[in-house]
């Protein structure tokens, strides 16, 4: 990555300085046929702003033979931007074989002056057994070895190392360690995860996200990370959050050929639509019934254009979310696009280690957090804050006062707007520690009330059973670690939620030696 403008989760808003011009990441890399395209390469740039496309060395060979008399793939396709060339591995994944050798594929890509080239790997479909997947992983490593001298010799092409292993995380791990130990990894300018198209076709987003997470965790972050066959725009925010800088897809035209209309919340069939829920130039001009009545080529072209518009718009939306630090909030929104995507988001929040998200998320941001429900409880700004309090806070006494706050207003707002509370805090006893209880965080020492993110949020005030349970667990951890003997609990805002929470906290310590009392604010 040549320049990083902003980052959030593992997503990076940045600039790639490629041979035919700079590319803003994250970006979709549209797939085009070397010969016949219903949306031209030139339109990809002029209509949608894509300065980076991908085509196929294998398909070029099948349709044109060995490049002879063609100056470049750019001239052939009428595109002045950056072109990546796939090796033919997708044909192996889709049809089981491709009549092209690894070196032949590399030579075609070089002769066509591709900006980014790809090693011919052996894909691993999800139906493979462990033994089959391991054999294909080992064959891919052999092909990397076979291609390595060619790669080192042809510096004019930025070469891509495919990552294989399929759904088996152990094999992905073994593969990356092996190519690293052999000295191959550092000689490639792109890394790319493959074999995901059939996994997405099965809506197996948990496996997809697990594969991306494993590969991204093991690969160096100074090299762009690509995902082959990204598919639908509703998953774009998730794969960006997991660390994908670029991702290619032919879904825009493949869906169109089947009469399918993309949105960021799912896919419709043209026959099921009463109206188009989109203001793009296609949807503003046509009605669904009208498109159903035109000739096939016109219908496919217009659906393809719409699918590209919605994909390009989602990329821009992700750019904005990254710049503002709101990518997690976009994930919460998109997670409800499909039940299996929601299941996968559940996996990302509960099963993925918190450190994975925290390590790449800024400690402070220029914006307040939007807190919706228990899913927001897991966002890295909050998990990190809870850990730091638990690890770093040193109690000043054995007495504790818990000030329960509903979250309707921030602790700082409540303190600043209430003379009684300000007076109480100013005159507070030196032999007592004071903390604020927030239902989506847990315990916050009063001294930290002003610091990010404890007073920089907007909360929905929706208290789910799980959210309350998780917050109470944080209270219990804090009190147990600091070995308090006496606890007094009061609410600091006159909201019914606060009273309910206040009453529920003593139940955490029924079997404890501690003295726990509910009191009114005036009694402090």
**Stretch 35-47: mean pLDDT:** 95
Q: What is the pLDDT of residue 22?
A: 97
Token digits of residue 433: 């520690």
Domain borders along the chain are: 3-350, 375-523
* 380 in Cβ contact with 361 (< 8 Å): yes
Q: What crossing angle do the helices spanning 169-181 and 205-218 adopt, rounded to 10°?
A: 20
Q: Which residues of 237-256 are buried (b: 16+ CB within 10 A; e: fewer)?
A: bbbbbbbbbbbbbbbbbebb
Q: What is the pLDDT of residue 430?
A: 81
Q: What is the pLDDT of residue 94?
A: 59
DSSP code of 451?
S
Q: What is the pLDDT of residue 97?
A: 64
Q: What is the pLDDT of residue 87?
A: 84
In Å, how far from its chain's centre is CA 20?
Answer: 27
Q: What is the pLDDT of residue 176?
A: 98
Token digits of residue 407: 């979250």
Share of the chain above pLDDT 90, in %: 72
Q: What is the pLDDT of residue 370?
A: 95
* Superfamily classification of domain 375-523: Uracil-DNA glycosylase-like (3.40.50.10630)
Give the DSSP letter string of 30-89: EB--SS--SS-HHHHHHTT---EEEEEHHHHHHHH-S--S---HHHHHT--SEEEEE-SH
Token digits of residue 140: 């891919």
Instruction: Give how far Cα 463 sits from Cα of 93, 163, 453, Å.
Output: 47, 43, 19
pLDDT in tens, 249-303: 999 999 999 999 999 999 999 999 999 999 999 999 999 999 999 999 999 999 9
Q: What is the pLDDT of residue 70?
A: 79
Token digits of residue 504: 């529920």
Q: What is the pLDDT of residue 513?
A: 74
Q: Is the peptide bond before 260 cis (omega within 30 degrees of 0)?
A: no
Question: What ranges make up the beta strands (E) of 70-171?
Answer: 82-86, 116-118, 158-163
pLDDT in tens, 418-462: 888 888 888 878 889 999 999 999 999 999 999 999 999 999 988
* 10 in Cβ contact with 320 (< 8 Å): no
> For residue 522, is pLDDT > 80?
no
Which member of 2, 33, 68, 86 is catalytic? Answer: 86
Q: What is the pLDDT of residue 427?
A: 82
What's the CATH number of domain 3-350, 1.20.272.10, 3.20.20.105, 3.40.50.2030, 3.20.20.450?
A: 3.20.20.105
Cα distance between residue 239 and residue 313, in whole Å = 16
**Stretch 330-339: mean pLDDT:** 96
Q: Does 511 or 21 have the greater pLDDT score?
A: 21
DSSP-derived 3-state class of residue 106: helix
Neighbouring-strand partners of residue 515: 486
**Stretch 455-476: mean pLDDT:** 90
The answer to which of 101-115, 308-322, 401-415 has the lowest mean pLDDT is: 401-415
The answer to which of 18-32, 54-68, 202-216, 492-506 has the lowest mean pLDDT is: 492-506
DSSP code of 373?
S
**Stretch 379-405: mean pLDDT:** 92
* 184 in Cβ contact with 216 (< 8 Å): no
Q: What is the pLDDT of residue 324?
A: 96
Q: What is the pLDDT of residue 1?
A: 67
* Site of tokens 């000689």: 187
> For residue 113, is pLDDT > 70?
yes
- Annotated active-site residue 86? The verdict is yes
* Site of tokens 């930025």: 158
Cα distance between residue 67 and residue 229, in whole Å = 26
pLDDT grade for 496, boundaries at 50, 70 and 90:
confident
Q: What is the pLDDT of residue 205?
A: 97
Cα distance between residue 465 and residue 507, in whole Å = 15
> For residue 507, is pLDDT > 70?
yes
> For residue 93, is pLDDT > 70?
no
pLDDT in tens, 367-376: 999 999 999 9
* 278 in Cβ contact with 310 (< 8 Å): yes
> For residue 393, is pLDDT > 70?
yes
* 164 in Cβ contact with 173 (< 8 Å): no
pLDDT grade for 98, boundaries at 50, 70 and 90:
low
* Residue 396: exposure state from Cβ atoms within 10 A (0-12, 13-18, ≥19): middle
Token digits of residue 239: 């794969």
Q: What is the pLDDT of residue 295?
A: 97
Q: What is the pLDDT of residue 215?
A: 97
Instruction: Give how far Cα 261 sits from Cα of 291, 307, 311, 318, Å.
Output: 12, 7, 11, 21
Q: Please, what is the average pLDDT of the chain?
A: 92
């Amino acid at each position: 990555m040549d320049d990083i403008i902003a980052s959030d989760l593992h997503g990076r808003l940045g600039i790639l300085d490629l041979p035919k011009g700079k590319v803003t990441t994250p970006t979709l890399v549209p797939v085009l046929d070397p010969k016949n395209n219903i949306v031209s390469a030139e339109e990809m740039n002029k209509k949608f702003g894509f300065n980076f496309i991908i085509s196929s060395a294998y398909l070029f060979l099948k349709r044109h033979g060995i490049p002879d008399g063609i100056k470049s793939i750019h001239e052939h396709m009428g595109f002045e931007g950056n072109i990546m060339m796939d090796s033919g591995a997708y044909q192996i994944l889709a049809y089981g074989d491709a009549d092209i050798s690894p070196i032949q594929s590399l030579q075609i890509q070089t002769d066509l002056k591709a900006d980014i080239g790809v090693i011919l790997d052996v894909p691993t479909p999800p139906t493979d057994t462990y033994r089959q997947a391991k054999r294909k992983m080992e064959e891919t490593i052999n092909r990397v070895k076979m291609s390595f001298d060619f790669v080192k010799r042809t510096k004019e092409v930025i070469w891509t190392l495919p990552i294989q292993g399929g759904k088996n995380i152990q094999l992905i791990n073994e593969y990356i360690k092996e190519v690293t130990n052999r000295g191959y990894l550092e000689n490639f300018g792109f890394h790319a995860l493959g074999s995901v198209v059939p996994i997405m076709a099965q809506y197996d987003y948990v496996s997809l996200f697990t594969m991306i997470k494993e590969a991204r965790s093991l690969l160096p972050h100074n090299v762009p990370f690509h995902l082959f066959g990204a598919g639908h725009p509703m998953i774009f925010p998730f794969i960006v959050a997991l660390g994908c800088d670029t991702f290619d897809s032919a879904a825009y035209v493949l869906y169109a050929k089947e009469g399918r209309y993309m949105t960021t919340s799912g896919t419709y069939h043209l026959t099921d639509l009463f109206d188009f829920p989109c203001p793009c130039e296609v949807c503003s001009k046509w009605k669904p019934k009208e498109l159903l009545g035109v000739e096939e080529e016109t219908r496919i072209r217009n659906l393809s254009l719409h699918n590209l518009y919605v994909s390009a718009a989602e990329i821009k939306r992700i750019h904005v979310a990254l710049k503002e630090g709101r990518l997690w909030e976009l994930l919460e929104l998109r997670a409800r696009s499909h039940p299996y995507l929601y299941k996968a988001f559940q996996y990302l929040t509960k099963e993925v280690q918190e450190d994975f998200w925290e390590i790449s998320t800024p400690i402070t941001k220029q914006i307040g957090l939007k807190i919706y429900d228990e899913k927001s409880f897991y966002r890295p700004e909050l998990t990190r804050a809870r850990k730091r309090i638990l690890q770093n806070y040193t109690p000043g006494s054995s007495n504790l006062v818990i000030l329960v706050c509903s979250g309707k207003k921030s602790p700082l707002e409540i303190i600043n707007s209430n003379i009684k509370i300000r007076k109480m805090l100013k005159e507070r006893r030196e032999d007592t520690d004071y903390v604020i209880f927030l239902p989506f965080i847990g315990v916050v020492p009063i001294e930290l009330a002003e610091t990010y993110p404890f007073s920089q949020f907007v909360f929905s005030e929706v208290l789910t059973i799980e959210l309350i349970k998780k917050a109470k667990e944080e209270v219990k951890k804090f009190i147990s670690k600091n070995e308090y003997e006496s606890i007094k609990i009061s609410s600091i805002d006159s909201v019914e939620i606060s009273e309910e929470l206040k009453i529920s906290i003593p139940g955490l310590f029924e079997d404890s030696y501690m003295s726990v009392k509910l009191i009114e604010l005036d009694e402090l």
